[in-house]
Structure 1
């Protein structure tokens, strides 16, 4: 039985460990699945690496052989719908993650441009919603639009991870702790810090907070 990898080494925020909130799964267009070439393999590999997960760990969680997964990532084999469901659950996303909506006439730009209507979105049990503004996770920089409902937080304890991050508050307020320092970020404020500094954040207000967040390297 396949299951989500419960404790990947890298996470964007610890609250993601609670998993995705219940959301409708979009059906897979089999014709699209058969004509993706090696793109879907790259998407799987990029997401796996961004989450710091090895092929061995993904193989165990998805119930698929390491060799088969390697062939999918290299574009040698195309995954079946059943295999893709297993992979998506193991990586903590819905299967629609691998099939973002395409804007008419933009197929040749999908690796460079993300239309507002084509963003990949994940909503977690803790209420936080991440929208991926980067075209994919294969580059050195990841850009997100993060929505924090009232009461949502990264966790009670500070955490650390590899890389650096920066953000800009579009609306609302966000409480940010870096080491022992606490600051309230308001609309128009921005921040940046090394991610290996103990940090956490929360929306302690009654109004939703929206932040544009940049992370390098990607750690979804």
Structure 2
């Protein structure tokens, strides 16, 4: 297909979006270019070029970057065909939610729960997601903290929200909010899956 000079192609658009996704995810995890370079074994200049849409990473490189960031490599790929350019910055379709993993981000083992990102972008001040906790699942054995604020709504099942020494038993329809610097932890005490929709501000995926 002929492309006019200086007119972006669909490939250019894809590289630009890939770079934006990588930069947004890196920043949301509080990592510098140097941090990601050290964790992935890639150079700072190469990662910077990827983030600016000026370099095409191989699948192997994406796997290494994904591993360093604690996400599956599928994070960087569409799951059901291309997303319309005017839709992607604002809308996340149910079949295109991106899965979040926390392995490698902390020393704490996260057991029996899974996060999916509902936000269309990680470049803003708000992250929205949905967590599913299997029976007995939890966010880790230890309480943890982060910057900003956190709020959520229990969609189904039961959740025990621990804030410092206090544990609150939450049922479907119950909601919560607290400052992220309060040590906290989630767990599912029930015998059916539990689900929470949550929001963090500013964006911080190390919830």
What TM-score do the two structures reach when normalised by structure 1? 0.79
Q: Show the 5 A alignment for 1:56-75.
A: 56-75=34-53
Whether the aligned pair in 2 keeps the contact of 1:142 and 1:217 (CA below 8 Å) is yes
Label 1:46 to 1:121 Cα distance change in 2 as closer, same or farther (>3 A): same
1:214 aligns with 2:199: yes
Q: Show the 5 A alignment for 1:6-45.
A: 36-45=14-23
Whichever of the two has the greater Rg, that structure is 2
Alpha-carbon offset, residue 217 of structure 1: 1.6
User: Which residue in the other structure is 1:154 paired with?
Assistant: 139
User: Which residue in the other structure is 2:31 paired with?
Assistant: 53
User: How many residue pairs were aligned?
Assistant: 189
Aligned-pair RMSD on alpha carbons?
Answer: 2.0
Counterpart CA distance in 1 for 2:143 and 2:176 is: 17
SS in 1 for 2:86: helix
Alpha-carbon offset, residue 36 of structure 1: 1.1
Q: Which runs of 5+ in 2 are unaligned?
A: 1-9, 103-109
Whether the aligned pair in 1 keeps the contact of 2:71 and 2:101 (CA below 8 Å) is no
SS in 2 for 1:192: strand
Alpha-carbon offset, residue 101 of structure 1: 2.8
Counterpart CA distance in 2 for 1:89 and 1:215 is: 23
Alpha-carbon offset, residue 211 of structure 1: 0.6
Alpha-carbon offset, residue 164 of structure 1: 0.3
What TM-score do the two structures reach when normalised by structure 2? 0.84
User: Could you say which structure has the higher strand fraction?
Assistant: 2
Label 1:123 to 1:38 Cα distance change in 2 as closer, same or farther (>3 A): closer
